[in-house]
A and B are shown apart, each in its own frame.
Chain A
């Protein structure tokens, strides 16, 4: 590789970085507006028409804010943590394509690259939690490790299901393979697993255990302020955009499904627009889930990850491999997936009843309380 080629990569990476930063700025605006709609508010309205310039005002505010360094922090770790979160978030984008040619470097091992790099962001959360020397940060960091390591398995397994279907790990090959039929129709189960595991990897509601405001006040990022907090926030939205793009590429057919009846420049432009529409639809779905779902408790989160998602993702892979090996028609896989989804939802609906009975408060009428006073007074007040 020559220095000239490296120079072009640097320019490409810089362009990508600018694009992602601007996208993220407006994602924050979209999220605030969308959540406001769900909660019957107006959202930001003051800066610019309908608050469209609000993100710029936010950026200026964050950059000019004082960067506070608490005196007990482990300084090198504290300063490096935002970078350790930010670099993997950007590095993933090296191989995520916007169209067949608009990609920094298409890798043959693209999916493995994404899986490997995205795991590294856990390190940043742990470093932030440890470096802050704060109980809540520490708890948040520990929760982040527990959650992200658990959900990494179904995340990678769902990716693997798609790789088995397309017989490739390159994202462009996967998109081209879906030009006839999108993977969400073939593998609805895989899509649900990837969506759930992706939300958990992002730490978004309902899986935002590690920076739950009402439990650990903001998790690993409690002590951060100013520009460092802005970098962490930037990384989170870049990751959201990446997961949305991955869902669009892996399951919604990217730019090629349904194929468009145009050729040449028109086709390229329209497929790019079509791809972006898909990405933003997924992002709005993620924001919608954030606005309407309550947060899971940490034990529910762990048992959902290990007892539901991990076995289900193995089932998904086994059936996909069987269909692929015997060259059966894809619709069989669709039927199997839909049946498994039905069974899973039935089981999820069925199982909590036991624990619900155990946890609930027994309501006793006054007459019963007098006739048979409860043996265990515990916290029941009987007069």
Chain B
């Protein structure tokens, strides 16, 4: 019963944050709405017995990604983003998002849910799986991050090459 209350609370936070992202004309509000939405997802993870995923969600999405997005926004001029929604390709975006929504709803309705009591997985089991069976995808993901990092360094270098002297 209590978990149901918390589930609805988390859902309200997620949906409210998501609506803020879409409807707000102020881009900083949109970024904060995204933050709220992602933290709400962490709440859903806790309710589905995945505290490790919840904490990683807060650490990576809440602590790093959204903060960096806000950091980037603060370095731009707010006037450039007065109107966020008058792009001329909006029908394509509408169709794409409706198709995605339809897929998600269909998946939610046609996936059989088996009503057994659910248990969480210990985080040391996750670690064992991650570094034995899924070791190669894990390392490949880290390579992607490394390449992105190097790309960032190279881009910064090009513009500031006169400072190197």
> Do A and B interact with each other, yes or no?
yes
Residues of A within 8 A of B (CB): 1-3, 6, 74, 76-77, 107-109, 112-113, 115-117, 119-120, 122-123, 126-127, 129-130, 138, 141-142, 145-146, 149, 152, 169
Is B2 a contact partner of A149 (Cβ separation < 8 A)? Answer: no
B58 within 8 A of A: yes
A169 to B55 alpha-carbon distance, docked (Å): 13
Instruction: Render B59-90 as a binary contact track against A, CB cut-off 8 A, 1 for contact.
Output: 10011101110110011000000000000000
A-B contact pairs, 22 of them (CB 8 A): A2-B2, A6-B2, A74-B26, A76-B29, A107-B51, A109-B51, A109-B55, A112-B56, A113-B55, A116-B55, A116-B56, A116-B62, A119-B58, A119-B64, A119-B67, A122-B67, A123-B35, A123-B67, A129-B74, A130-B70, A141-B74, A145-B70
Instruction: Report chain B residues within 8 Å CB of A152.
Output: 63-64
Instruction: Render B28-72 as a binary contact track against A, CB cut-off 8 A, 1 for contact.
Output: 110010010000000000000001100110110011101110110
B123 within 8 A of A: yes
Instruction: Render B141-156 as a binary contact track against A, CB cut-off 8 A, 1 for contact.
Output: 0000000000000000
Instruction: Report chain A residues within 8 Å CB of B132.
Output: none
A116 to B58 alpha-carbon distance, docked (Å): 6
Do A126 and B67 form a contact, CB below 8 Å, given A109-B123, A119-B59?
yes
Instruction: Report chain A residues within 8 Å CB of B2.
Output: 1-3, 6
B161 within 8 A of A: no
Query: Closest A-chain residue to B59, C-beta based?
Result: A116
Query: Closest B-chain residue to A6, C-beta based?
Result: B2
A130 to chain B, nearest CB (A): 6
Query: Closest B-chain residue to A127, C-beta based?
Result: B32
A299 to chain B, nearest CB (A): 12
Is A130 a contact partner of B67 (Cβ separation < 8 A)? Answer: no
Do A122 and B63 form a contact, CB below 8 Å, given A1-B2, A109-B51?
yes
Is A119 a contact partner of B74 (Cβ separation < 8 A)? Answer: no
Is B75 a contact partner of A149 (Cβ separation < 8 A)? Answer: no
B117 within 8 A of A: no
A109 to B54 alpha-carbon distance, docked (Å): 11
A226 to chain B, nearest CB (A): 24
Q: State which size class the interface on B falls in.
A: 20 to 34
Instruction: Report chain A residues within 8 Å CB of B64.
Output: 119, 149, 152
Given contact pairs A116-B55, A119-B59, a sample of 20 additional A-B residue pairs in the complex whose CB atoms are under 8 Å apart: A1-B2, A1-B3, A2-B2, A77-B28, A109-B51, A112-B56, A116-B62, A119-B58, A119-B64, A120-B63, A122-B67, A123-B35, A123-B67, A123-B70, A130-B74, A138-B74, A142-B75, A145-B68, A145-B70, A152-B64
Do A115 and B67 form a contact, CB below 8 Å, given A77-B28, A142-B74, A142-B75?
no
Is B52 a contact partner of A109 (Cβ separation < 8 A)? Answer: yes
Query: Closest A-chain residue to B78, C-beta based?
Result: A130
B77 to chain A, nearest CB (A): 12
A109 to B59 alpha-carbon distance, docked (Å): 13
- Specify which of A3, A74, A108, A116 is in contact with B63 (CB 8 Å cutoff): A116
Is A112 a contact partner of B55 (Cβ separation < 8 A)? Answer: yes
Do A126 and B74 form a contact, CB below 8 Å, given A6-B2, A77-B32, A109-B52?
yes
A203 to B67 alpha-carbon distance, docked (Å): 17
A109 to B52 alpha-carbon distance, docked (Å): 7
A175 to B128 alpha-carbon distance, docked (Å): 25
A109 to B66 alpha-carbon distance, docked (Å): 23
- Specify which of A76, A108, A127, A142 is in contact with B71 (CB 8 Å cutoff): A142
Instruction: Report chain B residues within 8 Å CB of A113.
Output: 55
A235 to chain B, nearest CB (A): 17
B129 to chain A, nearest CB (A): 17
B107 to chain A, nearest CB (A): 29
Query: Closest A-chain residue to B68, C-beta based?
Result: A149
Instruction: Report chain B residues within 8 Å CB of A126.
Output: 67, 70-71, 74
A1 to B2 alpha-carbon distance, docked (Å): 7
A347 to B25 alpha-carbon distance, docked (Å): 51
A109 to B56 alpha-carbon distance, docked (Å): 11
